[in-house]
Amino acid sequence: MPEIGPWSSRAIKDYSRVIEEFGLEPFDPSQLPDPPIVFRRGLVVASRDFGRILRSIRGKRPFALLTGFSPSGPMHFGHKLVADQVLYYRSLGADVTVAMADIEAFAVRGTPLRESKLLGVKSYILNMMAMGLEDADFYFQSERVAVRDLAWRLGTKVTFSELRSIYGFDESVSYSHLSVPLIQVGDILHVQLPEFGGPRPTIVPVALDQDPHIRLTRDLADRNSLYSVEARERGLAVFIRGKEDPLPHLERARDALESMGFSEFRMVPSYRALFVEDAPPGMREVVEEELRRLEPEAGYYGFIPPSATYNVHLEGLRGGKMSSSQPESAVFLDDDPEVAARKVWNALTGGRKTAEDQRRYGGDPERCQVFQLMKYHLVQDDAYLRQVEEECRTGQRLCGQCKREAAEAIREFLEGLARRRRELEPEVLSRFGLR
C-alpha cells in the first residue's frame, strides 16, 4: 500500500510533507469573499487548480460542486465540516451534487446497500438538508446509471498496472474493490455531462487522503477530451486528440477563439494544431475551458479537470480518531442535545490536573478537544476565540467555563437542527422511497 491513500491505515501526521510529495498547492482562504470559520481557521490545508474556481466566483460564472460520503455510521461533526464548506460554495452560486457512496461501502466493507440507503437518507441527507442544503442533488451511486456508465466508459483508458501504482492494489484485490476508484471518477465527472449541466468548473472538497482519486479524475478528464491547449513561449498551441479528421475541429476552435478576441492564427492540420500567436500563455486554462465547452456538440465529453481542496481530519473528543463506530469519540448530528452536552463535559482538554495548577501554569488549547469544537464549530467571533485561547494559556480560564459554553452552544445547535429535521423528514423519506 502507498503510505497515504484512501485505503492506507496510516494516519497522516506530517501534512506539509504530504502536500509537498503530492504536489499540491497551498490554500489561501483570504482569496475567498467572507470565508466562514472552516476556512478561516485552517481546516483546509491544500488545493489543486483552485484558481479556476476563484475565477468562476469572481466572474459570476456557473460552477459545480460535487462531494461524497461513504455512510459507514451516522453523520458526525467531522462530516459536518465538509457540509459547512458545501453550504458556503452554495451561497456563492455553486450548484451542489452529493454522492452517497453505497457501492464503495459495499465493495470495500461489505455494507449492504439497504443499510447504506437507510443511513444515507436518515442521517446524511436529512441533516444536510436541515443545515440548509435543501436544493442539493443527493443521490446513491448504485441508483445513478450515468455514474456507473462513466466508470466503465472511462475505464477503457485505465489499466490494472496504473491502478496498482496509484492505490497499491495487489493480485488479491477483488473485482468490485478495483471498480471503486472509477466509480468515484464517475461521481465527480458526471455533473459535467450535458444532462447534468454540461462542462463547467467543479470544486470537490475532500479529505487529504482522497487525493489519489482526484489525480486519476483530472487525468481522465484530459485523456478523454478532444482539445488540449499548451502554452508556448509566445502564444498558445491548440491540439486535436484522436484519429479523426482534425480540420473541422480546428476551424471550430478558431471561430471560438476569434469571438474571444484573438486574431493571429496559424493552422497546421497535418500537425493537428492551431497556433494562436496573440493569446497570452497565461490564458492557457481559460482558453482550454472555452474549447472544452464545444466538445459535447462534437460527440466528446469536454470535461474540465475538477478542482479540489483538501481538509485535515480533526481528532476525536477523547483524543485518537473520530469514528462513526465509537459513539464517545464524536458528536453526532442526530445525538440528543443532552447526550451531546455530556460528551462535551467528558471530552479531553488541555487543562491541568487541578484548578490551582491551571491558574499557575495555564492550559494548552492545542491539545484540547473542547477548544477544537469551539474553534471549528461553535465560536464565530474571531476576537472571542482569541480571548478564550489567551485566557486558557495564561491560566485565567478554567475548563469548566469552556465546557459550559461549548455544551450550551452545541445543545442550541442540535435543538435547532432537530426541529428542522422533523419538518423535512416526511418529505425526504418519501422522496427517497423509504415510506
What is the C-alpha separation between 238 and 325, in angstroms, rounded? 51
Considering CB distances under 5 to 8 angstroms, the limit depending on partner class, which of ligand SF4, ligand TRP, none binds residue 151? none
Choose, by CB under 6 A, the member of 19, 24, 99, 409 that binds ligand TRP: 99
Q: Is residue 16 packed enough to be buried (19+ CB in 10 Å), middle (13-18) or exposed (0-12)?
A: exposed
CB 372 within 8 A of CB 389: no
The strand pair at 227-231 and 236-240 is best described as: antiparallel
Choose, by CB under 6 A, the member of 32, 39, 68, 402 that binds ligand TRP: 68
115-135 b/e with 16+ CB inside 10 Å = b?
ebbebbbbbbbbbbbbbebee
Amino acid at 38: V
Considering CB distances under 5 to 8 angstroms, the limit depending on partner class, which of ligand TRP, ligand SF4, none binds residue 363? ligand SF4
Choose, by CB under 6 A, the member of 32, 204, 216, 333 that binds ligand TRP: 204
In the range 233-292, which residues lie near ligand SF4 by CB under 6 A? none
Choose, by CB under 6 A, the member of 102, 187, 289, 334 that binds ligand TRP: 187
Q: Does 66 bind ligand TRP (CB under 6 A)?
A: yes
CB 23 within 8 A of CB 4: no
Q: Does 101 bind ligand TRP (CB under 6 A)?
A: yes
What is the C-alpha separation between 259 and 291, in angstroms, rounded? 12
Minimal distance, residue 196 CB to ligand SF4, in Å: 45
Which region, judged by CB under 6 A, interacts with ligand SF4, from 42-50, 107-115, 141-149, 364-372?
364-372
Q: Write down the H helix ranges in 206-269.
A: 211-223, 247-259
Nearer to ligand SF4, 94 or 370 (CB): 370
Q: Is 25 helix (H, G, I), strand (E, B) or coil?
A: strand
Nearer to ligand SF4, 306 or 363 (CB): 363
Minimal distance, residue 328 CB to ligand SF4, in Å: 17
Considering CB distances under 5 to 8 angstroms, the limit depending on partner class, which of ligand SF4, ligand TRP, none binds residue 316? none
Q: Is 150 helix (H, G, I), strand (E, B) or coil?
A: helix
Considering CB distances under 5 to 8 angstroms, the limit depending on partner class, which of ligand SF4, ligand TRP, none binds residue 126? none
Only one residue has cell 500537425, namely: 271
Count of residues in the chain: 435
Minimal distance, residue 108 CB to ligand TRP, in Å: 8
Q: Does 184 bind ligand TRP (CB under 6 A)?
A: yes
CB 56 within 8 A of CB 63: yes
What is the C-alpha separation between 43 and 333, in angstroms, rounded? 19
Minimal distance, residue 102 CB to ligand SF4, in Å: 38
Choose, by CB under 6 A, the member of 322, 363, 379, 428 that binds ligand SF4: 363
Which region, judged by CB under 6 A, interacts with ligand TRP, from 99-107, 153-161, 242-250, 296-304?
99-107
Q: Does 102 bind ligand TRP (CB under 6 A)?
A: no
What's the order of all strands across the beta sheet hosting 227-231? 227-231, 236-240, 273-276, 265-268
Nearer to ligand TRP, 304 or 374 (CB): 304
CB 179 within 8 A of CB 151: yes
Sign of the dihedral through C-alpha 23, 28, 34, 39? positive
Choose, by CB under 6 A, the member of 103, 294, 330, 370 that binds ligand SF4: 370
**# residues contacting ligand SF4 (CB under 6 A):** 13
Q: Write the interaction track for ligand TRP spanning residues 114-143; mark x where CB under 6 A is met and - where it is not.
A: ------------------------------
Closest of 131, 64, 130, 72 to residue 98, by C-alpha: 64
Closest of 211, 177, 167 to residue 107, by C-alpha: 177
In the range 387-406, which residues lie near ligand SF4 by CB under 6 A? 392, 397-399, 402
Nearer to ligand SF4, 16 or 396 (CB): 396
Q: Does 344 bind ligand SF4 (CB under 6 A)?
A: no
Nearer to ligand SF4, 271 or 361 (CB): 361
Helix, strand, coil distribution of the chain in percent, nearest 5:
55, 15, 35
Amino acid at 217: T
Considering CB distances under 5 to 8 angstroms, the limit depending on partner class, which of ligand TRP, ligand SF4, none binds residue 399? ligand SF4
In the complex, the residues that contact ligand SF4 under the rule CB under 6 A are 349-351, 363, 365, 368, 370-371, 392, 397-399, 402
In the complex, the residues that contact ligand TRP under the rule CB under 6 A are 6, 66-70, 99, 101, 104, 184, 187-188, 204, 206, 210
